[in-house]
Homo-oligomer: A and B are copies of this chain.
Amino acid sequence: MGRVISDITISADGYSAGLNQSEERPFGDDGGDGWADKLHAWYAETPEENREEVDQTIAAKAFIMGRNMFGPVRGEWDRQWNGWWGDNPPYHAPVFVLTHHAREPQPMDGGTTYYFVTDGIESALAQARAAAGDGDIAIQGGATTVNQYLAAGLIDELRLHIAQLTLGAGTRLFEGVPPLKLEQVKSRATTVATHVTYRVLR
């Protein structure tokens, strides 16, 4: 059976996004100083061979994401929105989007299909498992979704990319999650970020 993994970029103070996420600012208010871009800048600034965790994660056979990661539409699906990632998203696999509002599956180019799950995180995981076969399942984000899965004890491996800034406010990884015992299975530094992989112990 595949592992349930989560790969997330956070600030040194644990935030994955600022306050007031919007279509114009998918990672929230940046106080005018562009930190949202900086938070994720490590990926572009890192040599290809050092992006291994991310590249492994994107090779998962099914993905789960929160609706706020999927896009800026709130409430009913009263507007066509097919994710931030264009016609050929990088997933090439089923992506299960957690939402309170039903919507028909949305096939995209390259093998990605967005499925909209209205009956909770465990149902989404069961559907992702069925789709992934023996492959890994990635809890793709945002932090609120990762926190729900962590709190429910459903994540096997957590891959953190810690960027060199703090945000001071926003959506924080581990917020509201009961204490976890972790095993650090890998940790390494690039010049612009620290990468830590934890196994979540049961």
Contacts and interface: CB of A to CB of B under 8 A. Distances in A.
Interface of A: 12-14, 31, 33, 35, 160, 162, 164-168, 173-174, 176-184, 186-189, 191-194, 196, 198
A165 B180 contact: yes
Given A14-B13, A14-B14, A174 B166 contact: yes
Contact of A183 (B33, B164, B176, B179): B164
Contacts of A177: 13, 166, 168
Contacts of A14: 13-14, 174
A167 B179 contact: yes
B164 A168 contact: no
30 contacts: A12-B180, A12-B182, A12-B198, A13-B173, A13-B177, A14-B14, A14-B174, A33-B179, A35-B179, A162-B196, A164-B183, A164-B184, A164-B198, A165-B179, A165-B180, A165-B182, A166-B174, A166-B179, A166-B180, A166-B182, A168-B174, A168-B177, A184-B189, A184-B191, A184-B192, A184-B193, A187-B188, A188-B189, A189-B189, A194-B194
